[in-house]
Amino acid sequence: MTINLKDLFEVSDVMNDKVLMKLLTAMKDGQQKEFDYIKFKQSYKGLIAMGMDESTAAKSAFITASTMGVTKDKLMLTVQHYKNVLNKEKEQFALALKNQIATNIDAKSMEIKRLQERIEENKRKMVQLENEQTLIATEIQSLEESASSSRLKIEETRDNFKSTFDVLFMEIEEDGILYDRIL
């Protein structure tokens, strides 16, 4: 039976759908074959949907899981496993973000600096170079706009990732605390 991970977690307006799907895909790819946190949460959510209170639902789901050899410690290890999966995605995102900044901002900033130096050099040249100066100034403006646009997009992506990650991570953290307390 396939588990729709998106149905297992509370999706809020602060979460970016694309980031959420990336994180859930990583969780799906890291899913364990044996009964784990995801299967436990699915069982728990199903019992909640049937009207059980949190404590009864958690205990009922755990009793069922324990018939398959699941212990509280094993369940808590799988909670940690999924937190580790999310943290690995966070590390990969940070590296990609760093590379995007280097490619889309730093490189353009260096190009802007290089072109500004050419403008200064051309100012010392004869009048016939003024046409070239105008073209370079236009290119600088375009690069500055592009760098500014890239910066905004990267910051928005970073903020979307952080808010989505924080909500998802906190829910898993709270689930771990809840299950740890209840079970």
Domain ranges across the chain: 5-182
For residues 28 and 85, what is the distance between their CA atoms, to the nearest angstrom? 10
Q: How many CB atoms lie within 10 A of CB 140?
A: 19
Length of the chain: 183
pTM of this prediction? 0.67
Tell me what pLDDT residue 108 has.
85
DSSP code at position 50: T
Express the helix, strand and coil content of the chain in percent, nearest 5 each. Answer: 85, 0, 15
pLDDT in tens, 85-135: 999 999 999 999 999 888 888 888 888 999 999 888 877 776 676 788 889
Check: CB of residue 93 under 8 Å from CB of residue 161: yes
Nearest residue to 133 via CA among 123, 144, 143, 145: 123
- Low-confidence spans in the chain with pLDDT less than 70: 1, 126-127, 129
